[in-house]
Amino acid sequence: MRRLYRPSLGSIPASLLVAVFLVCFTNRTFWSKAAIYLADHSGGVAGLFVIILALHFALVTAFSVRFLIRPVSVVLILASAIGSWFLDSFGVVIDDDMVRNAVQTTPAEAQHPITPGLAVHMLLFAVLPIAALLWIRIVHRPYRQKVPRNLAVIALCLVVSAGAFLTYSKPFTAVLRQQKDLVKSLNPVTPLVGTAKFLLQTSGETDIVVEPIGRDAKIVDVTGADRRPRVTIIVAGETARAQNFSLGGYTRETNPELGRQDIVYFPNTTSCGTATAVSIPCMFSNLTRAGYTHDKGLRTETLLDVLKHAGADVVWWDNNTGSKRVADRVTFVDLVKTEDGRFCMMGECQDGIFLDRLEDWLGKVTQDSVLVLHMMGSHGPTYYLRYPEAFRAFIPDCRTAELGDCKDEEIVNAYDNSILYTDHVLSSVIETLKARSATLQTAIVYMSDHGESLGENGLYLHGAPYVIAPDVQTHVPFFVWLDDDFARSMDLDRTCLEGTASMQRSHDNLFHSVLGMMNVQTTVYDPALDIFATCRKTTTHGQ
């Protein structure tokens, strides 16, 4: 029987071919940025190419032994193909935070990025190269010859890369210091390092013991004038960026209903992270962005725990991908699982699902309470799924997850429609609270988890590493609404609060400001981070 022809190739040449493929075919964004950043330095891009190729060649050669070269090369090719798709198409970097987002997402959310474009990309840059790698016959020298030969190749690669770096050390050093996004754009390095960091972080999460905080918390009666239960609703927004809120000066009217409400809007607010998996646990913690890490967040009780210690009834309603363990110790309700046909389709629900349930819940409140509404908001890339037909005010709107098939103005139209619907839901929540004024004192605080890129500088979606994240991913909308009786129960000077609205705010303020709203006295309360503290007529709160 005639055997199928398979070409033969030595392990060193095979390693070089894999390295050339990775460097030349899955790093379009990296080389585009390098050409811009090194434009004033003749030969700089060529020198960088020598360095990157030599290091990739050394890496693959280190594993170019029998039973290792193929599986290692397959992993490198897959990581590069996936990384290049999200980086080239959306500007999304696959680092440890993005890996965590992917792991914690729901099947419904995960299906949106799986598009025909992704399938074609993976066929060209993963399936075909891997098939070619498996087809050829890789010839290995005897072990005694292979080890010194491989070491010599690796040593030569390191010498060449070092020489090239020294030749252009001045421009390279300047670029690496000033343009941190360049290294983050390198495939497959960033996806593999991000995955490794995520695995190392999660390996220690199985035996976590949560450290209690605020066990001394109690709700104090500031004025003694009103015994009606006090209710604060915290709305955790999703992917709303401040630049598209007309409350903050956006030229389009995206907040027509909230604009008629008596809210206090804080236009200069920044997020703790650029992705839900970071921002949600950070904004509900007392660690602040400067002190927050994923591990510390898991090991420390949250705002909700302190409120519960104080005696408040605390409930979390989720219309997203979970609380990221923030609500592990309070009542948690997953509204997506209700499969309410009025609002839900394909495992996701629009935020109108909150409204009629809110009316029923308020009718049963008998004590001071805090309700968290975790919105679906403006989560992309399928912005068009986030609002009903009645809110298609800005058209034509992008009606696909394949953003590359839409013009940027169509993407912005779909996004703005989602903000318009968020405006309606939030205003409806306020109207529902107003209707309960005879029996409750009520307030709402809204804060988005992060923003979104809509094509600025070629970036889309969110999740950029914070150090290089654009302002549109970190500048978020934030407002409060308090009925007159709730403000009176805090002994709050509303005019004073409005006068401080333009001050710089951030996710760091949420923990202490909500404790302030609920008149919670505890040693973990910091008045310097409470946006209401300087506008209270009394000074005994939180002491």
Confidence of residue 3 (pLDDT cuts 50, 70, 90): low
Nearest residue to 317 via CA among 346, 343, 345, 287: 343
Helix axes 69-90, 28-37, angle to 10 degrees: 60
Higher-scoring residue by pLDDT: 229, 208: 229
pLDDT exceeds 90 at position 104: no
- Domain(s) labelled CATH 3.40.720.10 in the chain stretch across 228-486
Nearest residue to 256 via CA among 145, 419, 63: 419
Higher-scoring residue by pLDDT: 386, 175: 386
pLDDT tens digit string along 261-297? 999 999 999 999 999 999 999 999 999 999 999 889 9
Encoding tokens for residue 72? 């290692």
Q: Say if residues 131 and 6 touch (Cβ distance below 8 Å).
A: no
DSSP state, residue 463:
-
Tallying the residues shown for the chain, one arrives at 543
Confidence of residue 2 (pLDDT cuts 50, 70, 90): low
The reported pTM is 0.86
The three-state DSSP-derived secondary structure of 14-43 is: HHHHHHHHHHHHCCHHHHHHHHHHCCCCCC
Residues 87, 417: Cα–Cα separation, whole Å = 26
Q: Which CATH class is domain 228-486?
A: alpha beta
Look-up: residue for tokens 């993005």?
A: 98
pLDDT recorded at residue 347: 87
Confidence of residue 144 (pLDDT cuts 50, 70, 90): confident
Name the strand (E) or helix (H) holding 530.
Answer: none
pLDDT recorded at residue 227: 83
Residues 542, 533: Cα–Cα separation, whole Å = 9
CB count within 10 Å of CB 376 equals 26
